[in-house]
Structure 1
């Protein structure tokens, strides 16, 4: 296994451990750190293994961090329905 895929597996294990720990802010601080580390890791995997493996890693990260992705989708949808005049 390559170094980038090893790092992504380590990221996934850490994300699951963080999800099992109690948190006062509903894990949002953990999610911000995981996003900040996960995006460059996805780019590193894409650089080493190509876009298809990079998309699989991105989909895995989105499944682990699903609530930030859901809130981003709601925010984008809300902004698209307002229109440019508002």
Structure 2
């Protein structure tokens, strides 16, 4: 197993451990996981190719899905205003 995959697995274990903490720690932990996870996904893609990189991206996105949902809503807000939906 390559170093990048080991780092990705350690990232998942740390994310699972942080999920067990009280709720007030979830958002700061999510921001930290995102900041560390993006370079790890790039490293996985660099060392192993695009398919393992996409799998790592999907695994990371499933772990930090709520920040991604809120970010997608934030991006879609100007489009809804322009269409008169809000």
With normalisation by structure 2, the TM-score equals 0.89
Q: Which runs of 4+ in 1 moved over 4 A?
A: none
Count of matched residue positions in the alignment of Structure 1 and Structure 2? 82
Which is helix-richer, 1 or 2?
A: 2
Gaps of 5+ in 2: none
| Partner residue in 1 for 2:9 | 9
Distance (whole Å) between structure 2 residues aligned to residue 59 and residue 10 of structure 1? 16
Secondary structure of 2:24's partner?
Answer: coil
2:37 corresponds to which residue? 38
- Structure 1: gaps (5+ residues): none
Q: CA RMSD in A?
A: 1.1
